[in-house]
Amino acid sequence: MQTLTQTRFNFPRQKSVYHGKVRDVYNIDGRILVMISSDRISAFDVVLPKGIPYKGQILNQIATRFMNETSDLIPNWLISTPDPNVAVGHLCKPFKVEMVIRGYLSGHAAREYVAGKRALCGVAMPEGMSVNDAFPRPIITPTTKADQGKHDQDISREEILSRQIVSESDYLQLEDYTRKLFARGTEIAKKRGLILVDTKYEFGKTTDGKIVLIDEIHTPDSSRYFYAEGYQERQKNKQEQKQLSKEFVRQWLISNEFSGKEGQKVPEMTDDYVQSVSERYIELYEQIMGEKFQKAPIDNIQKRIEENVIAFLSNQI
């Protein structure tokens, strides 16, 4: 099956392009950004060697849906979605922090807790918790990009402010927006029979200084979901939770002795495994969105995207 793993477009009035781990972002005329969600998949800050069919479409459509469903809480960067894999939005200056919020002791927080730590990013975690227990109140554990290297780094609110990465007034606004978005995401997930376990949000400032939500929101790449049905019983019996997230890919890698450390080799991704990951992402989409996934044509993804973006831009510039 065809997948979108690289883009090399040259759109009208294009000024630059940034190739991220999963998304490629094209700067048009210094005013708007064309963000293309590829089928690349990353884990432990490593891009895996094969793309996942329909993954880019799934991430883009989930993110744009939730942008629209939270626009009453916070303005966002989005202008339009001219293609299933594409979002177009206002050019913003991103904050150099990602706002991670955790409602449950899971993932990275759980690994730190099991290792004996009782604080994460300067935030205390109560004694006596079991993995996947709910926190008394969701905790915000921000990360920031390291000055050198590609790995996100845990950081406390105090360090963010002392290093003047974000001003105090802006940071308080980011925390407020983060809690409001997580509460809304939790409500939406509950209607789908899901629990929003943890997620991350990214914010930027427009040219006129307004803080807006950017990038993805509530996708399986940026969030972790549990099935609500059976959650309490599984916790009581110390069983793994049934979840919807990219965690199943991470666990597959760990079971094959890869966790992103130097000298480790990414295990072979067979066609059957790639197909199984694609099917899981479609399951994720249908559960999170509450609707059947409609596959976009992929016989020539590059051409489809190029034609749709150029048609949109022709009416904008």
- Structural domains in the chain? 94-244 (3.30.470.20)
Helices (H) and strands (E) in the chain, counts: 8, 18
- Per-residue confidence (pLDDT) for residue 135, from 0 to 100: 98
Residue 45's pLDDT band (boundaries 50, 70, 90)?
confident
With a cut of 80, say whether residue 315 has pLDDT above it.
Answer: yes
Global model pTM greater than 0.85: yes
Cβ-contact 213, 185 below 8 angstroms = no
Residue 317's pLDDT band (boundaries 50, 70, 90)?
low
Residue 31's pLDDT band (boundaries 50, 70, 90)?
very high
Rg value, the chain, Cα: 19
With a cut of 70, say whether residue 297 has pLDDT above it.
Answer: yes
Three-class DSSP category at 169: helix
- Per-residue confidence (pLDDT) for residue 150, from 0 to 100: 54
Question: What digits encode the pLDDT tens for the residues 124-171?
Answer: 999 999 999 999 999 999 999 755 445 679 999 999 999 999 999 999
The stretch 256-275 carries a mean pLDDT of 92
User: What does 256-284 look like in DSSP terms, one character per residue?
Assistant: TT-SS-TT--PPP--HHHHHHHHHHHHHH
Residue 109 in tokens:
């927080």
Q: How many residues does the chain have?
A: 317
**181 exposed, middle or buried (CB, 10 Å; 0-12, 13-18, 19+)?**
buried
Q: Select from 270, 196, 212, 183 the least CA-distant residue to 91.
A: 212
Nearest-angstrom CA–CA distance, 132 and 126 = 13
Question: What digits encode the pLDDT tens for the residues 69-112?
Answer: 999 999 999 999 999 999 999 999 999 999 999 999 998 999 99
What DSSP character marks residue 76? B
The stretch 37-52 carries a mean pLDDT of 93
Cβ-contact 84, 58 below 8 angstroms = no
